[in-house]
Copies of this chain bind each other. A is one copy, B any other.
Amino acid sequence: MRNETGRVEAFSDGVFAIVITLLVLGIDTPSDISGHSLWWALGREWPHYAAYVVSFMVIGVMWVNHHFIFSHLVRVNRPLLFLNLLVLMVVSAIPWTTSVMAGQLTDPRGAQVAAILYSGWMVVYALSFTAFWWYVTQVGHLFHARVDRAGARGTRIRFGIGSVAYPATVGLAFVSAPLTLLMHGVIAAYYAANQLPIPLHAEGEDGDSESSDPPLAYFLSKTE
């Protein structure tokens, strides 16, 4: 059976997949350098590689989180569609902030501006995603029946605290741009490993005896 949220997820997946893949267009191809100095020309582009890896991880984690929240939804409505578009609009601009960052990383003064831009944009992302999550938990009825709605609302405070890391990177940008980029990679890795769970009601029949991992909650809403 096709889930109500199916086409929204498909569209969002498409946007995430394209955004994450467009990152590679930010890495220049050295074409006018001949001979063994190509190693040197390739090496000189290290800020582009670093920015590519970090932004790929960042967008990847954003996708996983998007995926995770949508897995708990069974209905969509117009406000949700547009809050989702807002999130996607912010995500879609990351290849640009990445490209600015990579292009300035070795210039001491430009790097600071670029790092503030990169980190500031992550703050904008955190705000848009928080607005999305706030709305979903506020209206409640878009959730799968097994989601504990009061519990989900309760995550909003902790969710907000988690987002404090982004403004902190804006401060870090005044200290060191490479360090800022590294910190974004660390934050992404942290979020990759630590997902704030969405509280669920207990359910008996879901026992999956052969699985040692706890099943991801999104299996609940998709497999029935």
Contact = CB atoms under 8 A, between A and B. Distances in A.
Nearest to A36: B109
A141 B218 CA distance: 17
A76 B9 CA distance: 17
A92 interface: yes
Given A53-B89, A82-B60, A100-B29, A95 B24 contact: yes
B113 A36 contact: yes
Nearest to A211: B141
A164 interface: no
Nearest to A84: B60
Tallying the copies of this chain within the complex gives: 4
A23 to B, nearest CB: 7
Q: Place the interface of chain A in its size category.
A: 35 or more
A105 B64 CA distance: 38
A113 B42 contact: yes
A195 to B, nearest CB: 7
A89 B188 CA distance: 14
Given A85-B57, A89-B53, A109-B36, A18 B29 contact: no
Interface of A: 1-4, 6-11, 13-27, 29-31, 33-36, 38-39, 42, 52-53, 56-57, 60, 63-64, 67, 71, 75-78, 81-82, 85, 88-89, 92-93, 95-96, 99-100, 103-104, 107, 109-110, 113-114, 117, 139, 141, 192-193, 195, 210-213, 215-216, 218-219, 222-224
